[in-house]
Amino acid sequence: MAQYSLSFAGVTPEVVDGGNLAEPIKAVVTGSTAAVKIQEIYFGGEAGSSTINRLVVNRPSTGGTYSVTQVPAPLNPYSAAATGWTARGQVGGRATCAPKVTHSTADLVDLAFNAYGGVVRWVAPPGAEIIAIGTIGTNGELAILSSRAGTGVVSGHVIVEQL
């Protein structure tokens, strides 16, 4: 299956507030017949001082409407363009998301690191990838780079496979 990279540079995560509302820096949103799985997530810190970030991947209970859509970059130049799904959120900076995404209380991945030059990489074990399937909402949207704590600037990428 085709694999794609979703990169972002110099972004400031928004801390999820008490109502679990946030603007994810990146979101993967599938259409009614599409399915994707996240294979890798990488964050590199660029904060100017010691800042602990707790960045999460979450399956929102309500989806947002994003101001920016990113074209996924195929890892294999012979791969077809991504079909049936989109990457939302900005490559650099934060895209507005109104209404904000309502996060569930169950984070799928929670990655804590010092954003002052620190890095963190999550690679899914075979068969344990995070899957988005169907329409926006419970199963069709994955919010990436929302923060439970910390707003240190980060860059990185997400590797997604279209099923």
Question: What does the pLDDT look like over 111-151, one tens digit per residue?
Answer: 999 999 999 999 999 999 998 887 655 677 787 777 888 98
Those residues with Cβ within 8 angstroms of residue 91's Cβ, 6 or more apart along the chain or in another chain: 7, 8, 9, 70
- pLDDT tens digits, residue range 9-29? 888 887 876 555 666 667 777
Domain positions in the chain are: 3-162
Task: Identify residue 40 by its one-letter amino acid code.
Answer: E
Q: Give the tokens for residue 8.
A: 């972002």
Instruction: Identify the H or E element spanning 88.
Output: strand 85-88
Helix (H) or strand (E) holding 114: strand 107-114
Is pTM beyond 0.75? Reply is yes
pLDDT of residue 163: 85
Give per-residue pLDDT as tens, 142-163. Answer: 877 778 889 899 999 999 898 8
Mean pLDDT of all residues in the chain? Answer: 80
